[in-house]
Structure 1
C-alpha cells in the first residue's frame, strides 16, 4: 500500500472520530423544555459531592427549551424549580434551596433568609447517570 495514502487515511479517520466525539460532547447538557403556553423562569439546584448550590434564572419561552447545565452531567441528581411568569402556577418540590428575585448563583442551601435570599421548593430529577438529560414542563 502507498505510504502517503495510508497516512492520509489514518488522518481522515482521526478527523472523523474527533468530529463525532466533539459533536457528542456539545450535545451533553441538562435541558428543560417548556411545553406550556406561558414563559417560565427556571432555577437549578446541584450537589457536587461536597457543596450544595443553586443558580437561576434561566428562561424558556412557550414551546422552547433552556439549557441549565452545559456539558456532560457530573451528577445523577439535579433539582429544579420553575415559575410561570405573569400567571399563577409553577413547579416545586420538597427540596429546599435558596433563590433570589434577580439572577443568582448561591452557595449552600441553609439559612436562606438570614443571608438575604428566599427559600423555595425544588423537585428532584434523577438522570440515571446519563451524560445528557431533558425534562419537559407542562400545564
Structure 2
C-alpha cells in the first residue's frame, strides 16, 4: 500500500480518551478486520478541499476534521488493504497515493492528480460526527 499515516497519534489519543477536554470532530473508525486507508473531501469557504491518507487498523479511529464541524456534508473515500473493498460514491475529488491536501476539485488529471469517487456523509448539522467503516 502506498499510503501514509497523517494523524495516528491524534486518533490514538481520541480513542483512548487521553486527549484532554472533549472536542467536536469528524472521526472515522475502522470496524473491519483489515487495514483501511481513508481520505476526506469538504468545502472550505468557496473552495473544495481533499485530504488523505489516514491508515487505520482494526478498531483504530482518526480525527480527520478537528474542531466543530462547519459543514453539513463531508465526503469520504476508503480503500481496504486487500484492494477488494472500497467506500466510494459519485462525488469526485482529486487525490494521490501519498499524503495530500489538494485545493479544488476540477481538472484533477491536468494538475497531476488522480480523480475518484467519494461518498457523501450527512452529519445532520452536528458539531461532531463519527463514521464507522464496516463491510
**Partner residue of 2:74 out of 65, 78, 85:** 78
Aligned counterparts of 1:114 and 1:104: Cα–Cα separation in 2: 17
Tell me the alpha carbon deviations over residues 59-87 of structure 1, each in whole angstroms, 9 at most, x when there is no partner. 21112211101111111110000000134
Where 1:27 maps in the other structure, the secondary structure is coil
Which residue is 2:41 aligned to? 45
Where 1:74 maps in the other structure, the secondary structure is coil
Greater mean deviation of Cα atoms: 110-119 or 58-67 = 58-67
Unaligned runs of 5+ in 1: 1-21
Name which structure has the greater RCO, CA cutoff 8 Å, separation 6+: 2
List, as ranges, runs of 4+ consecutive aligned residues in structure 1 with deviation greater than 6 Å. none
Q: Which structure has the larger Rg? A: 1
TM superposition score normalised by structure 1? 0.79
Which residue is 2:85 aligned to? 89
1:102 aligns with 2:103: no
Aligned residues between the structures? 116
Aligned counterparts of 1:103 and 1:85: Cα–Cα separation in 2: 16
Unaligned runs of 5+ in 2: 1-19
Which residue is 2:61 aligned to? 65
Higher helix residue share:
1
Which residue is 2:6 aligned to? none
TM superposition score normalised by structure 2? 0.82
Aligned counterparts of 1:91 and 1:130: Cα–Cα separation in 2: 22
Tell me the alpha carbon deviations over residues 82-137 of structure 1, each in whole angstroms, 9 at most, x when there is no partner. 00013421100000000001100000001101111000100111111111000111
Where 1:93 maps in the other structure, the secondary structure is coil
Aligned counterparts of 2:119 and 2:110: Cα–Cα separation in 1: 23
